[in-house]
Amino acid sequence: MAEVLVYVDHVDGAVRKPTLELLTLARRLGEPVAVALGAGAENTASALAEHGAVKVLTHDAPEYADYLVVPKVDALQAAYEQVSPAAVLVPSSAEGKEIAARLAVRIGSGIITDAVDLEAGDEGPVATQSAFAASFTTKSRVSKGTPVITVKPNSAAVEAAPAAGAVEALNVSFSDKATGTKVTGRTPRESTGRPELTEAAIVVSGGRGVNGAENFAIIEALADSLGAAVGASRAAVDAGWYPHTNQVGQTGKSVSPQLYIASGISGAIQHRAGMQTSKTIVAINKDSEAPIFDLVDYGVVGDLFDVVPQLTEEVKTRKG
Amino acid sequence: MSLRIVVTVKYVPDATGDRHFADDLTVDRDDVDGLLSELDEYAVEQALQIAENADDAEVTVLTVGPEDAKDALRKALSMGADKAIHVEDDDLHGTDAIGTSLVLAKAIEKAGYDLVVSGMASTDGTAGVVPALLAERLGVPQVTLLSEVSVEDGVVTGRRDGDTASEQLQAQLPAVVSVTDQSGEARYPSFKGIMAAKKKPVESWDLSDLEIDAEEVGLEGAWTKVETAAERPARTAGTIVKDEGEGGKQLAEFLASQKFI
């Protein structure tokens, strides 16, 4: 059976959820061979094996943390040359897309980014993508070379599928370009204790109607009652009420959770682009004419300062 | 020596228009008005600021696109760029990201450069891979997704805000930079700028000028193939209630019925 290379996104050996989703998709195409790089790479093996990786290729070197992107491209290329896979799958993070794109040029392949589904096809994997602020769905394939495809979080369910997951050391020799861009400092983000925005099953977002940074506390309280991530519209971010890393929309994150709750967000195209593919959409807005209500499964026309705290209390009561 | 900055820009259909696909499954450019991709305005802005802080610099805007793409170049020139290059060729219709990066890279090399500045992504394709592809093809450092950038003594530095960390980056020129929408508000063209732009040079190059074979680009030469494109079905109308004191509780009831609570 053909092997499929899966690039592993992990933090010191803890595999991030989108990589486990990739393994689900990779198993539709062949036998997943995982590539884990950097500090803690070997510690990824048990989680990867549990979810279907037949092999885990690992390599650690200081270059992965000290220089931007290119050392990882060199390593993925080494894995590609060793395995000769039928496809290469990479999580659709900012860095993942850059790694995948550079690999594609090096191996003379086409690239598809931000796939939301993958299936095997007669002429290679067929990728589903959303286009034009998710108003269209396309199906595409790579027509030259070995398909390189990046896949967005929440595109497949994480499934247990125990496999060997044999750890093998990957041989990597870095190119002379590997040290071109030096990382001279790194400030880790403070953890909020909430789920990662793009990976969360539920997202609670606030917009212009929240009317001030201090008022985001009520959005956060609702999010915490549901175990959700917190998002913000561009208007709220531009006003300085919430960090840009939480922005949902065309120029921020694109999310596709099971449940999206928009509070005080009108639903301009810029915002819809980032949340339209959510499974269930709920909105609270004072303006009954707000375009967000065209998207909702359930909407409440009302003041979010009344509705949101009442909802939070009710969720807490029901959850006991 | 003069700092040669090339800004790559894209002419895209207006995101607030009714965007759709043409019969050959390429982006329809006829029915929706086009404009300079908003995210490229940030690239033009940062290029102009870098140029203003340099002793001597020249900013060239470069686009690959149909005849109308000149509008995007004009906008960038009216913001203050010095000159423009328009790569235009009928054989380019349907070119994908890999092909576009090939054309841009050849044009950048022909133009001569110390620094390439790009936006973080286009507002139509939204893949965001072209800057990394350019760095790979040009064989120069990639300093991408910056929310802050500066150039001094032949070194580019910047801040890249990622999901898990904020990184400080540094590379020697020549290099490829991309900037995010957090890098700073783009200036509006002044009346004087708009008038001056009309006199600024716009060069037109085609594939033969760049020594690229037509087979390497266009829809036929693309590395990817779109097989189907379907409009997403409109969401079925949901239940909308007016809050009369119980709105939060009603919403909780809905969430419970959907098993979210």
At A237-261, the pLDDT tens digits run 999 999 999 999 988 899 999 999 9
- For the segment A90-113, what is each residue's pLDDT rounded down to a tens digit? 999 999 999 999 999 999 999 999
Could you say which DSSP state residue A67 is in?
B
Beta bridge partners of B182: none
* Phi, psi dihedral angles at A179 (to 5 degrees): -105, 25
CB A133 within 8 A of CB B15: yes
User: Is residue A147 scored above 90 in pLDDT?
Assistant: yes
Structure tokens at A243: 């960090």
Q: Which B residues 99-118 touch A at CB under 8 Å?
A: 101
Provide the pLDDT for residue B233: 86
Q: How far is A92 from chain B (nearest CA, A)?
A: 10
User: Is residue A1 scored above 80 in pLDDT?
Assistant: no
User: Is residue A50 scored above 90 in pLDDT?
Assistant: yes
With an 8 Å Cβ cutoff, is B180 touching chain A? yes
Band of the pLDDT at B31, cuts 50, 70, 90? confident
Cβ-based contacts of A270 with chain B (< 8 Å): 15
* Residue to substitute from A90, A117, A282, A314, interface B, most B β-carbons within 10 A: A314
User: Is residue B236 scored above 90 in pLDDT?
Assistant: no
Could you say which DSSP state residue B214 is in?
G
* Residue to substitute from B19, B40, B98, interface A, most A β-carbons within 10 A: B98
Mean pLDDT to the nearest integer, A60-66: 98
Provide the pLDDT for residue B1: 65
Point out the residue among B15, B168, B223 whose CB comes nearest to the CB of A142. Answer: B223
Residue among A48, A45, A41 at smallest CA distance from A17: A48
- For the segment A159-180, what is each residue's pLDDT rounded down to a tens digit? 999 999 999 999 999 999 999 9
Band of the pLDDT at A311, cuts 50, 70, 90? very high
Show Cβ contacts of residue B259 under 8 Å, excluding neighbours closer than 6 positions.
none
Task: Say how many CB pairs under 8 Å bridge A and B.
Answer: 261
Cβ-based contacts of B183 with chain A (< 8 Å): none
Q: How far is CA A274 from CA A209, A251, B229, in A?
A: 18, 8, 19
Q: CA geometry: angle at B192 spanning B186 and B196, to 5°? A: 95
In terms of phi and psi (left: phi > 0; alpha: psi -120 to 50; beta: otherwise), the region of A252 is beta
Provide the pLDDT for residue A133: 84
Provide the pLDDT for residue B125: 87
Tell me whether 0.90 is exceeded by the ipTM: yes
Could you say which DSSP state residue A69 is in?
S
With an 8 Å Cβ cutoff, is B124 touching chain A? yes
Say what percent of chain A tops pLDDT 70: 100
Provide the pLDDT for residue A251: 84
Nearest CA in chain B to A290: B240
Mean pLDDT to the nearest integer, B10-20: 90
Provide the pLDDT for residue B237: 82
Nearest CA in chain B to A74: B136
Report the alpha-carbon distance of residue A272 to residue A212 in Å, rounded: 22
Residue among A214, A193, A181, A216 at smallest CA distance from A65: A181
Q: How far is CA B28 from CA A130, A173, A269, B40, B255, in A?
A: 16, 45, 18, 20, 40
Which of the residue ranges A67-76, A218-227, B160-169 would you say has the lowest mean pLDDT? B160-169
Q: Which A residues 28-67 touch B at CB under 8 Å?
A: none
Nearest CA in chain B to A142: B224
With an 8 Å Cβ cutoff, is A202 touching chain B? yes
With an 8 Å Cβ cutoff, is A258 touching chain B? yes
With an 8 Å Cβ cutoff, is B224 touching chain A? yes
What is the residue whose two structure tokens read 């409440």?
A300
Span between the terminal Cα atoms of chain B, in Å: 65
Q: How far is A164 from chain B (nearest CA, A)?
A: 30
* Phi, psi dihedral angles at B61 (to 5 degrees): -100, 140
Provide the pLDDT for residue B56: 95
Higher pLDDT, A207 or A134: A207
With an 8 Å Cβ cutoff, is B175 touching chain A? yes
Point out the residue among A183, A269, A293 whose CB comes nearest to the CB of B240. Answer: A293
- For the segment B64-87, what is each residue's pLDDT rounded down to a tens digit? 999 999 999 999 999 999 999 999
Mean pLDDT to the nearest integer, A15-39: 97
Coil, strand or helix: which one is A123? coil
Q: What is the pTM of this model?
A: 0.94
Q: Which A residues 111-140 touch B at CB under 8 Å?
A: 111-114, 126, 130-140
Report the alpha-carbon distance of residue A175 to residue A71 in Å, rounded: 8
Q: How far is CA B153 from CA A67, A279, B111, B147, in A?
A: 21, 51, 22, 20
